[in-house]
Amino acid sequence: MKKIILLILIILISLYSYGKVLTSLEEVSKPQLISVSKDYFLITEGATIFVYSMKDHKLVKKFGKAGEGPKEFKINPFGAPMIAYFIKGKIFVNSESKMSWWTSKGEFISEKRTPAFAIFRPLGNQFVASGQSTNDKDQMVLTVNLHDPKGKKIKELYKTDITVGPNAEFNYPYASFTFEPYKERLYLARGTEGFVIEVKDMDGKTLYTIKKEFEKIKVDQTYKEKTFQSFKADPNFKQFYEFFKNRIKFKTYYPALQDVRVVDDRIHVITFKKKDGKTECRIMDLKGNDLKTVYVPYPDLHGMDYIPKYDIFNKVIYILIENEDDETWELHTSNL
């Protein structure tokens, strides 16, 4: 009897640790992003947005068309994928040179033009967005900027070490520069500086900075090999592989921050540390006080696949994971 009870406990612990498969997604073949709300979750693939019910996980609506006209989404094959997520009961979409708003069921509301090659996110009645400027070596690098309600740049908030443009080098792994608007605050990951998250008000003024110690982990050969393989397999980059391969460089150590999400009044930091095949997620309160550390089945990212396929809602992480045996994508969940 004791052995049976022990076996049951081991199974229960395993299920809790590794999470569960919520549903199989037959409609998508190359998902790029997921966003979760109380009633719906959405998945993007190219210029298409799939909206599913949280109740039964059935497809509610599929919308989106590639193009540059009204209600259409322009996709930059060499840039970031289209960004879409739920905010205040609506779907906010940032495609190339445009941001648009839709109802939670995919009905069009409005749209606005934006500067090219930028990812915009609402911050109160203003916006925070990625941009470009030069560093002290006259290289073009990605930045994070504050914009007014009309989309005009007000000021630069952070300069990354990620080079862009015709002379860009790919220095992997990239350090996170995630910018997370949350409750009239901006949580800005300054990944080039270590485990550093800067908290700003809606005018871009720094309120306080969170700094933590972190374990330095060397970039391993497997990561390097998979990065080269990702370029060879990417439909947009494989034809230019011979040109790009000499520009691919690697840091000695993994950055402290891989991604940052602020939700449920908590800061969730995905690092590069692994245990038993899963990835570390450090959870803090909004002031940066440690709450706990968990390990989640977070899929590795390589090459130009730098938008993580997960979301967090009501202290549950939702992760898109490919079932290579069945050649389908599954939605996995784990408690946080």
What is the DSSP secondary-structure string of 24-43? EETT-SS--EEEE-SSEEEE
Tens of pLDDT, residue by residue over 209-249, are: 999 999 999 999 999 999 999 989 888 888 888 887 888 99
pLDDT tens per residue across span 140-150: 999 999 999 98
Mean of pLDDT values over 53-75: 94
Q: Domain with 18 in it: what CATH number?
A: 2.120.10.30
pLDDT band at 8 (very low <50, low <70, confident <90, very high): very low
Whether 18 has a pLDDT exceeding 70, the answer reads no
pLDDT confidence of residue 260: 97
CA 144 and chain centroid, separation: 15
- Give the pLDDT score at 245: 85
Give tens-digit pLDDT for 70-92.
999 999 877 778 999 999 899 99
Average pLDDT over residues 152-160: 95
pLDDT above 50: residue 25: yes
Q: Which domain, by its residues, includes 90?
A: 2-335
Q: What is the pLDDT of residue 1?
A: 54
Count of the separate structural domains present in the chain:
1
- How confident is the model at residue 22, as a pLDDT? 86
pLDDT at 291 > cutoff 60 = yes
CA angle 254, 259, 263 (to 5 degrees): 155
